[in-house]
Amino acid sequence: MFSSDQTFKPQTDAVDVFWHEGMLQHDAVEGVFDSGLDPGFLDVLEKHPENADRVRNMVSILQRGPIAPHVNWLPGRLAIVSELLTFHTSDYINKLIEADKSGERREISAGTFMSPGSWEAALLAAGTTLSAMQHILDSHGKIAYALVRPPGHHSQPTQADGYCFLNNAALAVKLALDSGQCSRVAVVDIDVHYGNGTAEGFYRSDKVLTVSLHMNHGSWGSSHPQRGSVDEIGEGVGLGYNLNVPLPNGTGDKGYEYAVNELVVPAVRRFGPDMVVLVVGQDSSAFDPNGRQSLTMNGYRRIGQIIRAMAEEHSNGRLLMVQEGGYHVTYAAYCLHAMLEGVLKIPEPHLSDPVAYYPEDEAVAVEAVKSIKRYHSEFVPFLRGT
């Protein structure tokens, strides 16, 4: 799986990337977009958005792109059932196991297909993310990136959703909390869709701050009942510890930077985590088929810089990044490269943006962020008066 030049060689200011090629075997089918439907009148069907090609390019750009000297490669592994049960229910896990045993292609939820090989890929994604977190907890490195598929942040304790079977990031958060080394974990999700599964799993906890910046898409059915609206702020002792930042379409680089600085940074500072988890989706980019948020490489680079500073301020530099969406087969890889440049404090861009300038106007986004900030100041207990 790894060539001789990809073995673990600790470096200063490098990212430790956890990867296993077995995750490529998940076949999310072909059809009309993510439906798996062949209407019979199209000569050319498209691959499901969550296909292996997108991740192949992410791997190759880190192996052979300009950032390669800053990357250490480490192997992933399969998760075991007992690890899955720290976040998911046994009924749900048993349902997935039985679906896999059938050997048939099944649509587990809308747009989320399980085929032969999918369950093993999902176990690898979960286990690889757990290995990345354990690597940080064991002080083998401070910056780790779980390059995984299928994605996970829509998967709730009891059901699949949005191409996700197992919630990789949430499992890593549970590992950190259960280790005794971390009492509070901050999760910042920049995927274009609401990280509803992670939010649902920690909705009644004050040990995890979940912050999701996403397109204002609302609920999309029974598998995704959460709306991602600003008033979904947690319940019980978790009241105020789920912060949603629904952003208008076309928010762009400047709008995202403003949102992160005005909403995310102050909230994380008030919360005071001892571990930071960045849930990454390049589907917020300007040319993604699954989003409308218009981030470019510069926007991802700037977010990487801000999150790195956040980790240095609060968690002694400990930062786990977990891959989620990002469906433009080439541009997603470029945006990943740019984000890691920001995280690693590389002073100048090593790659130019292949799709050039995308015009933006952040005025609408700024007003939306100001409105969200007013809401948080009034209704989120630990942010009152900010």
Residues with active-site annotation? 154
Nearby residues of 355 by Cβ (< 8 Å), 6 or more positions away? 286, 287, 296, 331
Task: Please name the amino acid found at residue 195.
Answer: G
Torsion sign, CA atoms 80, 82, 83, 84: positive
Kindly report the three-state secondary structure assignment for every residue of 147-199: CCCCCCCCCECCECECCECCCHHHHHHHHHHHCCCCCCEEEEECCCCCCHHHH
Lookup: tokens for 326: 């990002």
Nearby residues of 104 by Cβ (< 8 Å), 6 or more positions away? none
* CA atoms of 72 and 83, how far apart (whole Å): 26
What angle do helix axes 52-64 and 331-343 make, rounded to 10 degrees? Answer: 50
Task: Please name the amino acid found at residue 343.
Answer: V
Lookup: tokens for 74: 């480490």
Q: What is the dihedral of CA 302, 177, 128, 68, to 10 degrees?
A: 30
The answer to whether 264 touches 188, Cβ cutoff 8 Å, is yes
* CA atoms of 284 and 192, how far apart (whole Å): 5
